[in-house]
A and B are shown apart, each in its own frame.
Chain A
Amino acid sequence: MIRRLASAIAAHPVLVFLTIFAVFPFLVPYKALATQVLIYGLFALGFNLLYGYTGLLSFGHAAYWGLGAYGAGIALAKLKVGSLWVALGASIALPLVAGTVIGFFCLRRRGIYFSMLTLAFAQLLYFIAFHLADWTGGDDGLRGITVLPVHLPGLTLSLDAPLAFYYFALVLVSLAVAGLQRILDSPFGAVLQAIRENADRAAACGYDVTRVKLLSFAFSAVFAGLAGGLDALRLSVVPVESLYWTTSGQVVIMTLLGGAGTFFGPFVGAATYLVLEDRVAVVTESWPLVIGGVFMLFVLFLPRGIWGTLRGGFHGRQGA
């Protein structure tokens, strides 16, 4: 039953995504949580492209989330740009450039070296942002971000109402989801998954493995950056922790909770994480103890995550 439902979902992932998230704000206890799930889901989606589909475990995705947040934040608060699109453009461009450069370095090593190198570079950016207080606000965070109204041809929309912002974010995230679907369905997407399964064999087939990995890294950084940019608009502040390793850890946990290498896993994981955090906060301050323990149990006993397990099927990670 669940499997049949899952396969129906698998046939039209973008449509299903839109349907669920169109009503999502009315299903959760409060609407701010829905926006958070959407944005963190996008972040995890970007991470999942690299880890779940390409098999590269980045422990430094805070770098692109943070750069996206600072990109939008600095454009609005410091450079006073007149258009929200320019700000969001910055939250794509900055992670794209950084992702390409850092990816180039990190892909010089494989396996666990790669993970720790991504972490090291993210920490490097964190320390830089920490000390560049004139631009980033340093320890206090970047404040003074005004969310401009959206200008479309013949239309101006204010994003001040929480629901307005939610649906604005939903449009952008849906475009990203459709983009990911397009990437995965393309021959390029097939090569990504071939590299995950066996990089040597993919190379033997004549694919330029390093170049494909670098592209995947850059795409992944862009998704994460857009998510970071949206989060800067949501909070109208960029805390310096955006670049800290805890943020990288958060996206790793979310993706694995939901199911790495599955299409909806990142969103399921983000929702699970955020709702759980919300509930646990009522009972105890020791959230890391709870989530750390839950995460360890998942790694040990449910490595395919919630969505991956529900979806069942054979070991392959393809499909929704």
Chain B
Amino acid sequence: MSADTAGALVNVLVPTLAAALLCAGLTKVAVPGPARKALAELVPGTTRLAGPAVRLLALMEVATATALLVPPVRAAGAAAVTLLGVVFAGAGAAGQVRHATAPCGCYGRAGGAALGLGNILIGLLGAVLGVALWRLDGPAAPAGPAILAGATAIAVCLLTAALYRRLIRAGLRPVVIADS
């Protein structure tokens, strides 16, 4: 693979992974309840530990996203992406085996699917992309940090709009005032 192609792939992978992790981490910081419930259901008897564990995971996600955008530590960021991918896939597998019912709390959502097959697939995809980024980053010559951070900011806004589309739609709906 040529350095140009590798650089282009890094330019796509970094903002995509960083935006996904940043949104996941920040929404868990703002609304930790759903993920805490999912974790407490997954490992019975850990209700008190679930809160700090979710906060730690959220911080790891934000730190990993930030590391991907700083060239000297990008390789460490890629390794952390792989690790987080394996953790998500493991949590999904545990949810699948234990027939989890509580929503996974992904992106701070109180609804949605429980930990299971979807998390296994996304976790494995994240792990593979983390390895790919780690392999490509060396010889590649990606765009500068300002461009990558800017692209990540745009990706974050697009992902947020997709995640909260119903809320946005509800906010844009005209208010009808009935005649008395």
**Are A and B subunits of one complex?**
no
* Residues of chain B having any CB pair with chain A under 8 Å: none
* Residues of chain A having any CB pair with chain B under 8 Å: none
